Each structure stands twice: as structure tokens, then as C-alpha cells.
Amino acid sequence: MSDLTAAWGRLTDAAAKAGARRIASLFDAEPGRLDRLTVEAAGLELELSKQPWSLADLDVCLDLAKAAQVEAARARFFAGEPVNSSEHRAALHMALRAPKGSNFKADGGPVSAAVDAMRDRMAAFANAIRSGALKGATGKPFRKLVHIGIGGSDFGPRLVWEALRPLDAAIEVRFVANVDPAELAFALHGLDPAETLVVVVSKTFTTQETMTNAKAARDWLRAALGKAADSHLVAVSSALKETAAFGAPDDQVFGFGDWVGGRYSVWSPVGLSCVIGLGPEVFERLLAGAAAMDAHFQAAPLAANAPVLLALAHVFNRNGLGRPVRAVVPYAQRLHLLPNFLQQLEMESNGKQVTKDGKPAPHHTAQAVFGDAGTNVQHAFFQLMHQGTDIIPTDFIAVREASEGDPAAQTILLSNVIAQAEALMVGKPESQVRKELAEKGVAAAEIETLAPQRTFPGNRPSAFILLDRLDPERLGSLLALYEHKTFVEGVLWEINSFDQWGVELGKSLATKVLGELQGGPAGAHDPSTARLIGKLRG
Ligand code: F6P
């Protein structure tokens, strides 16, 4: 039996015992628990004491990380080796946010000088837009920006903008991802083409949704401004052959290397709309925060390494305790898009059924992730979280200081996140419920039916991530934390976290169905699909 197989076996054994134990009981049994399971990293505090593992279980998990050679994998990752083995590419988003003058290499070729030059170019372009030095076709300054992109060309920039945008933005940024024409219609509604910049972001520049929306937005500009409208177009891509035909002026085309994965690309020119909307200084601070997490991930020992510990906590639940779903609940309205971002990051990266060698995956892989902003979710799915028949671990993210608004409301928000994490873990035993009902004078027969319904089983785990404030550095650090925890999970599961073959079948079938909806000859389909095509074709 290999060391790795043995380490997985020990994790399974440890988890079987953990499942039968109360998390809350571990605080008395393990006096050092809180300290050992609280880590400061790059401006964030990660607390994992409300997880089902004991400190001995944590050691078992750390042994698994060692047996899986996480440190060696991390070294290959940072060295720019082709860790995306099915596409023979590096995945080197860390190079995009490294301090200027760094020396990253992707597949042996230097990239840092080009990255630094592109950062300067983006900053200069953004400053020219922001200052009004660069004007639209009619001489008006650009005051609105429509960002068109989907998946990794949307989630990151949209999240960063929502998280950091000022109340009164000098440049309003709107996002369009869906090919549903309603989204573009809403985004363009009320805008003056003469002061609108359209930034089209697509790594491949072939994505159906993005190209459809980009052409429609270009038509909207041209209808108002004629051919001069093309000076309102910006293209961001790693496929510069594809961008040429689009019409954006050459000095408004921003490229990036194919070693930047779509869902890891917010740090690249994919984030250009944020550079323009928030200003280059803010964007540089975002990069610096992510770079600080990179440095922590590289240097901290496994036992005090935030991405490693978060990955192990999630794996202990996912693989040890058979919990395939996880909630992510940011108690910060500005972070309400974090669950969407993490859905792509984690589920597109690690939603795999085979190893990187093409063998059946030996373990279950990515958890399904869902969530939304607290406190809203308390009025949506938290009934199930507290009393449903499944245990769904939660990541809570809280921010100490409000970005704006009434500090008293912020205190209420914080009281809720603390209380929810406590309630999930501690619960409320039936004996206490019975006592309280009896004290209220409820009849004995009613107590029999009511008490079980008002009992909270507790023992539901959570991770707690605390930010002192939601500034650009801490946001960068938070996103990089999740990126690296996703990487560590991929190493433990022996999968390639950087490809996404599973999105291809639907795309090619949609092309075929589109031809039929547009009146082309009927193709071979199952009866259900054929019926739908028949019903919806024009
Ligand atoms: O969802 C599939 C996907 O390929 C993602 O990986 C990617 O982020 C998204 O489509 C958009 O791709 P592109 O940036 O090439 O338009």
C-alpha cells in the first residue's frame, strides 16, 4: 500500500470517530485548540476550531498533505511548470500580482517583465480615461463602461467592482455576461454611446455569449457614432489573432499569456475594467494583497498555512464525513458575489472524475458550493442548515469595519454571523427546549409534539474568516486564499485543477441545436430534445 493510500485510510478512520463526537466538547478536551486552529495570514484571520476534527485528526490531515507531496506540487506550480497537464501549460496567475521586478517563468520562458509592462500600460490607459485625456468620438469624456465577458472573464471583475466600488463612482461600470438579450438591454439602457466605453473580455475571443453581446454593443455604438465608434471599443484576450477583426484600435487591445487560466485571470488585463473604474492604485493594492497570500502559501509550514488548512478542513468534511455540499456566506453585502466566484473557481477547477493520468479519481472531488450574503440567507436556506437532514458545512466571512453606513447596523450584522456559527455548532438540546416550554406553561401533550420541532441538533461545522476591513489588499488576499486552497485540494485528489473539458459537450450541442432553431435540417436527437427543438424553432 502506498504512503498516500495509507494516509487516506487514516483520514477515513479519524473521520468515522469525528462523526460520532460533539465538536463543542473538543474545546474542553483540547486546551490549545483555539490557538492551534486560528491562523493569521496576509491580513486575514482564519479560524477552524468549529470544524469536526480534533487536533489529532488535524495531524492525520497534515500527514495526508505530506503524503500527497503538496509542498513539491506547490514548488512546481510556482516554478511555472506545466501543471495544467492536459493542455501542457503552466498556471501562473501568481506572476500577474507579484511585486514588480519579480522573475517568474512560465514553461521556462520569462514572463515578469512583460507582466510589469502590461500593468504599466493598463494604468496609463486607465488614467487617460479617468482624467478625460482620452475622449470619445464626439469629444466627450468616457463616463460609463460596459464590461462584456462570461465565466472567468466576468465573475472576478464583477466581484472586485462590487466589493470596492465607491458610492459615487466617477466612471460607472456595468457588466454583461449572459447571452440572454435582457442583460445587455438593461446594461445599455439609458447610456449615452458618446460617453460609453465597451470593454470586451474573452480569453479565447470565440465564446458564443461574449461575441454575441460584443457585436450587439458594437452595433449600438456604430448606430449612434458611425465608424468612429470603434474608438470606444477595447478588447482583452490571449487570442490576439481573433481580436483583430473586432475593430478595437490596436492600442486598445490588451493581451495576456495562455498560462493565465480564465477563472484565475482577474489579476490580468481581464481586470482592466476595474483598473479603469477603481483606479490603478486600488488595483495594484488588490494585486499586493494577493501577492501577500502567495508569499504566505509558499513560506508558511503546512500546519500554519491558511490555504492548506482550509483545504484540509474541506477535505475532512467532503471525503472523511461524506459531505458533498458546502455553503459560503459572506456577512458583507459587498461580497455577495463571492459564492458565484467560488462556484467557478472550485467547481470548474475540481469538478473532475478522473485523475490527471486519466484514471478514475480515487476519491470524491469538489464540493458543490452555494451561498449568498448574510443576513439575507438566514431568511432563505438557514432553516435547512440548522434543522435539515443533511449536514452542510459553512464558510463564514465577516468584516469587522463597515465600508460605509451606520456602524450600529454593522454591529448587528456581526452579532448575526457570530450567533449563526455558534448556533450551528452548539445547537439546542431537546431537554432544554422541554424545560423552556414547561416554564411557559405549555401543556405536556403539546410539549411532546413541539419539543422535537424546536430542537437544534447542532454539531454543524463552520470555518470563520475575519477581515478587519474590506480593503483592496484584504480582498486580494481572500481570493488568493481560495485559489490556493483549490490548488491544494486538486493535489490531494490527484486531478488537474486547471482544465475544464466538462464544459465542451454542452457548447458543441448548443451550436448544433442553434442551427436547427434557425431553420436548418433536423439532427439526430433523443425524443425529448427533438420535441423541444420542434416546439421552439422559429
Ligand atoms: O465556462 C467555460 C469557460 O471556458 C471558462 O473556463 C471561461 O472562464 C469562460 O468559459 C469564458 O471564456 P473566455 O474568456 O474565453 O470567453
Pocket-testing residue among 352, 501, 503, ligand 1, by greatest number of atoms within 8 A of Cβ = 503
DSSP structure string for 480-529: HHHHHHHHHHHHHHT--TT--GGGHHHHHHHHHHHHHHTTPPP----HHH
Cell triple for 478:
481572500
Q: Sheet containing 253-255: which strands, arranged edge to edge?
A: 172-176, 144-148, 196-201, 233-237, 253-255
> Could you tell me what percent of the chain has a pLDDT over 70?
100
Q: What pLDDT is attached to residue 494? A: 98
Digit-coded pLDDT (tens) for 325-384: 999 999 999 999 999 999 999 999 999 999 999 999 999 999 999 999 999 999 999 999
Q: Is the pTM of this model over 0.85?
A: yes
Q: HSE (CB half, 13 Å, CA atoms) of 355?
A: 10
Q: Which residues line ligand 1 (CB under 6 A)?
A: 150-153, 202-204, 207, 210, 262-263, 348, 500, 503
Q: How many C-beta atoms lie closer than 10 Å to residue 521's C-beta?
A: 6
Distance 150 CA to ligand 1 centre (A): 6
Closest CA relative to residue 126, chosen from 137, 113, 142: 142
Query: Does residue 1 have a pLDDT over 90?
Result: no
Is residue 241 helix, strand or coil?
helix
Which ligand 1 atom is at minimum distance from the Cα of 149?
16
Angle 263-265-269 (CA atoms, 0-180°, nearest 5)?
A: 150
- 201 alpha carbon to ligand 1 midpoint, in Å? 10
Q: If residue 143 lies in a helix (H) or strand (E), which one and from where to where?
A: none
**Closest residue CA from atom 6 of ligand 1:** 262
Point out the ligand 1 atom lying closest to the alpha carbon of residue 507: 2
Residue tagged active-site, from 348, 473, 494, 516:
348
In ligand 1, which atom is closest to the CA atom of 150? 11
The tens digit of pLDDT for each residue in 287-331 reads 999 999 999 999 999 999 999 999 999 999 999 999 999 999 999
For ligand 1, atom 9: residue with the closest CA: 151
**pLDDT for residue 538 is more than 80:** no
Query: Does the active-site annotation cover 348?
Result: yes
Q: What is the pLDDT of residue 442?
A: 98
DSSP letter assigned to residue 109: E
Convert the pLDDT of each residue in 374-416 to its tens digit.
999 999 999 999 999 999 999 999 999 999 999 999 999 999 9
Whether the CB-CB separation of 467 and 397 falls below 8 Å is answered with yes
Distance CA 155, CA 270 (A): 10
User: Catalytic site residue 50?
Assistant: no
What average pLDDT does the chain have? 97
Taking a C-beta distance cutoff of 8 angstroms, is the pair 141, 195 a contact? yes
**For this structure, is 379 an active site residue?**
yes
Q: What is the pLDDT of residues 36-90, one digit of tens each?
A: 999 999 999 999 999 999 999 999 999 999 999 999 999 999 999 999 999 999 9
Residue type, 192: D
Do 149 and 177 contact (CB within 8 A), yes or no? yes
- Write the CA distances from 306 to 92, 93, 313, 463, integer angstroms: 20, 18, 10, 11
Q: Which of 84, 89, 148, 150 maximizes ligand 1 atoms within 8 Å of its Cβ, making it the mutation to test the pocket?
A: 150
pLDDT of 14 above 90: yes
* pLDDT interval class at 159 (50, 70, 90): very high
DSSP code string of 27-76: HHH-TTHHHHTEEEETTEEEE-TTSS--HHHHHHHHHHHHHTTHHHHHHH
% of the chain at pLDDT higher than 90: 99
Query: What is the Cα–Cα distance from 445 to 322, expressed in whole angstroms?
Result: 38
pLDDT by residue (tens digit) across 187-241? 999 999 999 999 999 999 999 999 999 999 999 999 999 999 999 999 999 999 9
**pLDDT of 19:** 94
Nearest residue (CA) to ligand 1, atom 16: 202
Contact indicator for 83, 76 with CB cutoff of 8 Å: yes
Which is the closest atom of ligand 1 to the Cα of 503?
Answer: 2
The sign of the CA dihedral 329, 335, 336, 340 is negative
Quick one: which atom of ligand 1 is closest to the CA of 152?
8
The alpha carbon of 149 and the centre of ligand 1 are apart by a number of angstroms equal to: 9
